[in-house]
Amino acid sequence: MKPYPHLYVIGLTGNIGCGKSAVVAMLVELGAAVRDADQVTRQIMDVGQPAYEAIVRAFGPEVLQAPAGPLDRTVLGRIVFGDLAKLRQLEAIVHPATRAAIHSWLAELDRAADHSTAHKVAVVDAIKLIESGWPHFCDTVWVVRCDPAQQLQRLVEQRGMARADAQQRIAAQSPQEAKLAVADIVINNSGPLDETKQQVQAAWNAIMIGR
């Protein structure tokens, strides 16, 4: 039985720099409700939130902007993206709380969809979608991809990352091919946005016909 029977749930993933945010904007425009796992993770890492104290205990006060203050995400990022074991340690802290928050959102949306025609398509937007077991709860998995050289270029030119930092972030993620292997829909975002939009619209139309 579907865990959220009144929703069609899209699991959306793709590695950093591949253009997931552009696809999200297109899906919102088409009428989908979207939850960004990264945004949820940032919220649960705020002072007083579920993951904050555990992160400070695990990584020490050097990851704080000030004593008892917010996390310095830049410092924390450099620590974990340079050490796979520390990255896994951080993920073990934040992933359960992130999953719980997203499941709560889906359940609330499912209850609302039972009495309304609004937002019957929900999107879970997560880089770690596959690693976190989300496909089990999704009706379909979409993967946004682009050429690797373009991925690096976007991080450097659009996000202002140093080339070495960008390469480190890319290397810390699972290979793009691993995501593509489990995709139901692949959105190739290597070309102009108009081409990406055509792909998204076609996949959306297939959902609407099926419903």
The pTM (predicted TM-score) of the whole model is 0.85
Low-confidence residues in the chain, pLDDT < 70: 115-119, 210-211
The residues near 77 (Cβ < 8 Å, ≥ 6 apart) are none
pLDDT at residue 210 in the model: 65
Task: For 5-57, write each residue's pLDDT tens digit.
Answer: 989 999 999 988 888 999 999 999 999 999 999 999 999 999 998 799 999 99
Strand ranges for 14-119 from DSSP E: 33-36
